[in-house]
Amino acid sequence: MKKKNLSVKKKIHSFYSKKLDDPRIKKIYLNFKKKISSHITNGFCIAVSGGVDSMALSFLAKCYSIENNKKGYFFIVDHNLRKNSTLEANLVKKKLKSFQITSKILTLKKEKISTNIQSFARDNRYKLIIKQSLIKKIDMIITAHHSDDLVENFFIRLLRGSGLKGLISFSKIKSNLKFDDKIFILRPLIDIPKKDLAYISKNTFNFNVNDPSNLDDKFLRAKVRKLISNLEGDGLTFNKFKISLNNLSKSNYAIDYYVKKNVNDNSNFLKLTKTIIIKNDFFKQPDEIVFRSFSEVIQKVGKKDYFTRGVKVDKLLKYLKISNDYSKKTLSGCIIQKLGNSVIISPEKR
């Protein structure tokens, strides 16, 4: 390596180490390092939006990369949904480069989306990053989700009628992505408030872009933020919320235990035909146990990366409980047929 390049590298490394002298930044970094160390093997991918939280994540991830000699791949997604999105993506890339972070812009094809815009953007963002992760042979995508996101997502899912499992699923530090079960998402900052990440961003790179949709009341998330702000005035704190979330998680763990027991005790999997035969006792458990158990066997036989929508599962379960009709039904790549006191679930021919 040329002397000039060595000098630049030394200067950049000095920048990061000096910033970690700040007690507030160092505390968050040590927490971040502890959360990801056991999960990172050959490297990681970082999703960078350009907001204060993802810029803080970029700083922390670069520190970890330097200290542990781990390869980090930084991806900026240009959703092509706003007028200045491409300009902003290039600004973020330029800023990261000035701190010796090489990044790549992934561009979504321009489409006219009138509904579920944020959901469309999120799903397609992950699809693009997953594709790059598979190319780089990296199985961990680290995101900047923080404690404010955790509370917001709880209320959003509550408003959408999610069950217990849906309400707590976002709180996991590590989870599968529904698009590919070989890739995991890591949320090491899920217990860190956004204000702390804003502090890191301001006192390190001192740069971020603002997404106007964060303040647009036509989006549910913006409405939920205002609701949470009002509730904070009435005494809602993250610590109180976390206690409730932990209690819900314990309840979910207990339900998961009985779901596994129900599947093991009251169903038989035939490897040769990839078929599952469900006994009558399978449906005699509490409703939530039956619902989750049935969702799992449907997913297993249909070989889907995600669970079937709850309303469809509920409708089919009601039909199986009260009907004596032995005609075949289909759902999520499965053929479901009631035969006497049993139900046979087999894969659809492809």
Name the residue ranges covered by the structural domains of the chain: 3-236, 258-347
* Spatial contact of 107 and 101, defined as CB atoms under 8 Å apart: no
The two counts, helices (H) then strands (E), for the chain are 12, 11
Residue 254 burial class via C-beta count within 10 angstroms: exposed 0-12, middle 13-18, buried 19 and up: exposed
* Whole-number pLDDT of residue 172: 84
In terms of pLDDT, which residue wins out, 53 or 322? 53
| pLDDT band at residue 213 using 50, 70 and 90 as cut-offs | low
* Spatial contact of 158 and 170, defined as CB atoms under 8 Å apart: no
Task: Measure the CA angle with vertex 193, ends 235 and 87; round to 5°.
Answer: 130
Task: Assess whether pLDDT exceeds 70 at residue 139.
Answer: yes
| Helix (H) / strand (E) containing 9 | helix 3-19
| pLDDT band at residue 5 using 50, 70 and 90 as cut-offs | low
Task: Assess whether pLDDT exceeds 90 at residue 211.
Answer: no
**Which range has the worst mean pLDDT, 20-34, 181-195, 230-244, 298-312?**
298-312
Superfamily of domain 3-236, CATH level 4: HUPs (3.40.50.620)
Show Cβ contacts of residue 65 under 8 Å, excluding neighbours closer than 6 positions. Answer: 71, 72
Model-level pTM? 0.79
* Whole-number pLDDT of residue 68: 92
Q: What is the mean pLDDT of the chain?
A: 87
| pLDDT band at residue 283 using 50, 70 and 90 as cut-offs | very high
**4: region left, alpha or beta (phi > 0 left; psi from -120 to 50 alpha):** alpha
Query: Measured on CA atoms in the order 127, 176, 348, 272, is the torsion positive or negative?
Result: positive
Instruction: Tell me the CA distances in angstroms from 98 to 4, 8, 71, 107, 275, one per residue in order.
Output: 15, 11, 18, 22, 56
Instruction: Please state which CATH class domain 258-347 belongs to.
Output: mainly alpha
Instruction: State pLDDT tens for residues 99-119.
Output: 999 999 998 876 665 556 666
Q: What is the percent of the chain with per-residue pLDDT over 90, rounded to a whole number? A: 51
